[in-house]
Amino acid sequence: MFVERTLVLDLILIVILSFFSLFCLRKLAQKIGLVDKPNARKKHSGEVPLVGGISVYIGVCVFLTYSALSVPNSTLYLICITSLIVIGIADDRWDISYKLRLLVQTALALSMIYGAGLSLKTVGNLFGEGDIVIGWVSYLLTVFAVIGAINAFNMVDGIDGLLGGLSIVTFGSLSFVLYLAGAPKLGFFCLVIIASVTPYVVMNLGLLGRKRRVFMGDAGSMLIGFSVIWILLSATQEAEYRVMRPVTALWLIAVPLMDMAAIMFRRVRRGDSPFKPDREHLHHIFQRLGFTSRQTLVIICGIALFYASIGIIGEVTKAPESLMFGLFIAFFALYAFCLSHVWVITSKLRAWRN
């Protein structure tokens, strides 16, 4: 009981620390120009400090440094997220080349592989013929998985509260699965990240006043994506913590993953760079349908929770991995089809709503 009270106290202190850091960092960001300015693609009003990610980073660092609860490879993880925060702040302030960001992300993936021993060694029994062991290709796929997860969460950061809301759904679902599977330390670390993110969501949504709004910035979205893939690989691949099937991971990050994959495919097919910004993401579609930002936030987070629930039910009931994978591909195919015919679908839905 004492241990449980101590852990709850840790979460409360992290929330307080994150709130405090946000208030302090806001003023500093405005002085050094670490702000997001409205433009043709960004419709917000005024200059908004890009400090949400730094606040999350502070909360996570303080916990891993001073808590008695140990997390595997925490030192290397801290080094990796520190590197991401530095490159993310530089990108938020000076808009650096995406090639440099990819180089750093690749280096961090290799650090994860060779420093922590985390790699995508198996994807599970996806076709009902036994576990698929990848072999030497695992290193290449791990690099793609790390880069994909980082950029998937970066790309969904398009409206107030969405990145934070999807992060809470993902880490909350992960924590639930990990606790059920007997990995409480890793499960509690997910709650620590939620505690660090929650103050940002409150201020990002303007619940403490519009003048106190903050944005996550690339520093924060990259930290979130990297933390997700680190925990997923630990839970599905690491011998000591292999408590979850790989196919379940797809469901827990379904919305960011599907959105990124479909959007990048469309960009490449048009001959554009896969990293070229546009206004064709899921949240843009809902807004074109006439939904407000808050309504769009609730709908997309609801979809993410629906997907995560399917993954959790499949994991708990031990549904065949081939069935779960086939179902995921079916949902993704439906999503990709809708996105490819988005203009026709939105016009018909808008007419129906009117």
Task: Count the Cβ atoms, other than its own, within 10 Å of residue 248.
Answer: 27
The pLDDT value recorded for residue 2 is 38
Question: Above 70 in pLDDT, residue 44?
Answer: no
Sign for the CA dihedral angle at 332, 186, 107, 150 comes to: positive
Per-residue confidence at 354, pLDDT binned at 50, 70, 90?
low
Question: Above 80 in pLDDT, residue 85?
Answer: yes
Domain ranges of the chain: 2-353
Lowest mean pLDDT among 69-83, 148-162, 261-275, 293-307: 261-275
d(CA 329, CA 331): 5
> pLDDT tens for residues 332-343?
998 888 777 777
Identify which of 309, 339, 310 has the alpha carbon closest to the alpha carbon of residue 325.
Answer: 310
Query: How do beta strands 48-49 and 35-36 pair?
Result: antiparallel
- 35 strand-pairing partners: 49
Task: Count CA atoms within 13 Å of residue 297 on its CB side.
Answer: 17
Question: Above 70 in pLDDT, residue 295?
Answer: yes
The mean pLDDT value of the chain amounts to 87
Find all residues with CB under 8 Å of 138, minimum gap 6, and list them. 119, 120, 121
Task: Count the Cβ atoms, other than its own, within 10 Å of residue 288.
Answer: 16
Percent of the chain with pLDDT over 90: 56
Question: Above 60 in pLDDT, residue 26?
Answer: yes
Sign for the CA dihedral angle at 98, 340, 163, 255 comes to: negative
- Kindly state the tokens that stand for 85: 């925060």
- Kindly state the tokens that stand for 121: 């060694």
Per-residue confidence at 347, pLDDT binned at 50, 70, 90?
confident
Per-residue confidence at 42, pLDDT binned at 50, 70, 90?
low
